[in-house]
Amino acid sequence: MTVIDASPGTRRLTTAKAISEGIAQEMRTNSEVFVMGEDVGPYGGIFGSTTGLFDEFGATRILDTPISETGFIGAGIGAAVEGMRPVVELMFVDFFGVCMDQIYNHMAKIHYESGGNVKVPMVLMMATGGGYSDGAQHSQCLWATFAHMPGLKVVAPSNPHDAKGLMISAIRDDNPVIFMFHKGVMGLPWMAKNPRSIGPVPEEEYTVPIGKAAIAHEGTDVTVVSVSLSVQHCLDVAEKLAGDISVEVVDLRTIAPLDRDTVLASVAKTGRLVIVDEDYKSFGMSGEIAATIAEVDPMLLRAPIKRVAYPDIPIPYARVLEYEALPTRDKIEAAIRDLVS
Amino acid sequence: MVDNNQRVEFYRQMVRIRAYEEAIRRDYHADKTPAWDIGAGLIPGEMHLAAGQEPVAVGLCANLRDDDALTAPHRPHHLALAKGVDMKAMTAEIFGRTTGLGKGKGGHMHLFDPDKHFSCSGIIAEGMPVAVGQALAFSRRGTDSVAVAVAGEGAANQGAFHEALNLAAMWKLPVIFIIEDNDWAISVPRDTSTSVANNADRAAAYGVPGERIEGNDVEAIYQAVKRAVDRARSGGGPTLLEIHTVRMWGHFEGDAQAYRGDELAEAEAADPIPAYEAKLIADDLLSESEIAQILADATEEVEAAIAFAKASPEPDPSDAYQHVFA
Ligand SMILES: Cc1ncc(C[n+]2csc(CCOP(=O)(O)OP(=O)(O)O)c2C)c(N)n1
């Protein structure tokens, strides 16, 4: 169990800036690191993940690509197996469909198929999530889709501090890492945001370990496990309920490999579990966590598990429809109250 | 030759589309201030408008019938309107209302009108194989309908484009592939993303005719598409056309376009509508009062569609769970 460092410095960055700073620092010390993707050059990434990199490193290390995801993600794999450390951006996770063979059958499996002889030290970063009416093809989370495939590590930070530390860990990792940034945590100037999307980030390089969850808010009555933007909602609810209900918020930070120990330890303490997930409910992260409790020790629970997850529907456009489906603060609070009452 | 009535009709359609895009642009931004928020307002989400690309839609669709299919990309309004999609139902969809084409579930990148065989998708190039399948259905059934796939020049570097061309060519299907070359794929200019200067050259790789049309001229576009449609209808198989056009506005609304530099002013100056208007005036086909009337009619139709959308009910939250399965 790790508790987020309480003194991470006073300088405040958006998550987008924290990510690009992490990439820049690794690029300065390691000439094998380079970036490619659509609009990652002068534009700085549609969601700001590569802001400023083109100015510093130029077109030879920050490569704008054609709209050819199979081509350039495959090229990232090829460069990685030759020992480089590419950071490749897939603009929205939803576009995975046009390049999934490279991801599922190559990036994920080469190390295993080669009996450990070939490594794929590559980062594939991508935007996830909805809440701003971008419709069924531009609003999904889909972390479980990637976490389902053995051989892929999947991280999804909820705040700027973790985003930078996880990016540096991902670049240094010898495995392919899917780095998922929810648009809602990036601190974008053109999207409504939670103040938690801008926060203290140390200037120096540091790592946040892949595969380690964080206790983002300590509590004793109920454990709420979540990841990415939903963690911000959970923290808002935990703070609101403080004094009434003591909520422990577990920020998974990594989906695969899942930090089951931290979840189990928290549930052992509280005896109650709410899982909050913006990804589809069935066959996903929330089910995996529930199964972990059921497999290890269902007697930890004083009440049945509750899930606040995206219902099994494609993401609708109209705001009233989308918010009917999203895991909002109201739904999280209601689930907690229901469980504790 | 294009006859004079048709020329005036081309102008009328282009003005109608521009009036639509301008009104959507106005309403899209109207309630997103002071802190501009993409998710706020009566029209939330991404918004890709097609100002400058009207000649493509109008020249193309003047060759099409209701039973011909058209798959459009993420920038679909001009094509939908020219194809005859109902303006009110489409606008209501963009406003997320129950009277919309998709009852508010799709939004501006997901307009489906089965009566007009119109659809669009937000995933680059992915409408191209779908058009191949529509053409396959038409040819199996022995009709002379054709299918058209429209995509930007950025889409021509996507695998789906090449796979669709090969399939259509091998099976000699009645498909017309149209690449709208507006020089940009978001911030990436075509010359840094595409290995050939002319995407029509790629047609040769699949043994189909290819043609690039310069000038953003609705009449030249009409004629070129006519040749392709005639070929497709008469069993001659697919054609690839690349049409050079212009993106006068941002990739999406809110795009600051810093990457465009001086080229932006050139693009704005290359507005095809005043240019065509001047031509028709010179040929004595339009008077000042007729021009004013055409604009007034277009504005009235557009404002009526927007009023219809705004007056339409929002979906009930429980509607979210309907239509997952047929
Ligand atoms: C498979 C896929 N990759 C990337 C995107 C993101 N994207 C949306 S529009 C666009 C540029 C498209 O350029 P082009 O095809 O030339 O059409 P234009 O926008 O210029 O009309 C990109 C990269 C997407 N929607 N789908």
Q: SS3 for B282?
A: helix
Fold annotation for A12-200: Rossmann fold (3.40.50)
* Antiparallel, parallel or unpaired: β B184-185 and B188-189: antiparallel
Residue of chain B minimizing CA distance to A45:
B187
Percentage of residues of chain B with pLDDT beyond 90: 99
Statement: A214-340 belongs to CATH 2.60.40.1180 = no
How close does chain B come to A43, measured CA to CA in Å? Answer: 6
**pLDDT tens-digit map of A307-316:** 999 999 999 9
Give the start-to-end residue ranges of the domains of chain A: 12-200, 214-340
B186: exposed, middle or buried (Cβ count in 10 Å: 0-12, 13-18, 19+)? buried
Amino acid, res. A69:
E
CA B121/CA B127 separation, integer angstroms: 6
Give the residue numbers in A contacting B (CB under 8 Å), as ranges: 38-39, 41-43, 46, 64-71, 94-95, 97-98, 131-138, 189-192, 311-314, 316-325
Active-site annotation holds for A233: no
Asked whether the domain spanning A214-340 has the same topology as the one spanning A12-200, the reply is yes
For the Cβ of B193 lying below 6 angstroms from any atom of ligand 1, the answer is no
For the Cβ of B184 lying below 6 angstroms from any atom of ligand 1, the answer is yes
Which residues pair with residue B191 across a beta bridge?
Answer: none
Contact B324 A38 (CB under 8 A): no
Active-site annotation holds for B12: no
Query: Taking CB atoms and an 8 Å cutoff, what residues of chain B touch A66?
Result: 154, 157, 185, 188, 193-194
Say how many C-beta atoms besides its own lie within 10 A of residue B207's C-beta: 12
- pLDDT for residue B110: 98
| Ligand 1: residue whose CA is nearest its atom 12 | B185
Report the predicted TM-score, pTM, of the whole model to 2 decimal places: 0.97
Of residues A65, A69, A318, nearest to B315 (C-beta): A318
Q: Give the domains, in start order, of chain B with CATH numbers.
A: 4-312 (3.40.50.970)
> Would you list the DSSP string of A302-329?
SS--EEEEE-SSPPPSSHHHHHHHS--H
CA B186/CA B124 separation, integer angstroms: 12
| B227-241 b/e (C-beta count within 10 Å ≥ 16 → b) | bbbebbbeeebbbbb
**341 residues of chain A, pLDDT tens digit each:** 334 444 555 899 999 999 999 999 999 999 999 999 999 999 999 999 999 999 999 999 999 999 999 999 999 999 999 999 999 999 999 999 999 999 999 999 999 999 999 999 999 999 999 999 999 999 999 999 999 999 999 999 999 999 999 999 999 999 999 999 999 999 999 999 999 999 999 999 999 999 999 999 999 999 999 999 999 999 999 999 999 999 999 999 999 999 999 999 999 999 999 999 999 999 999 999 999 999 999 999 999 999 999 999 999 999 999 999 999 999 999 999 999 98
**pLDDT tens-digit map of B212-228:** 999 999 999 999 999 99
- pLDDT for residue A143: 98
Which residues of chain B have a pLDDT value below 50? none
**Mean pLDDT over each residue of chain B, to the nearest integer:** 98
- pLDDT for residue B323: 97
- pLDDT for residue A6: 46
Residue A58: φ, ψ to 5°:
75, 175
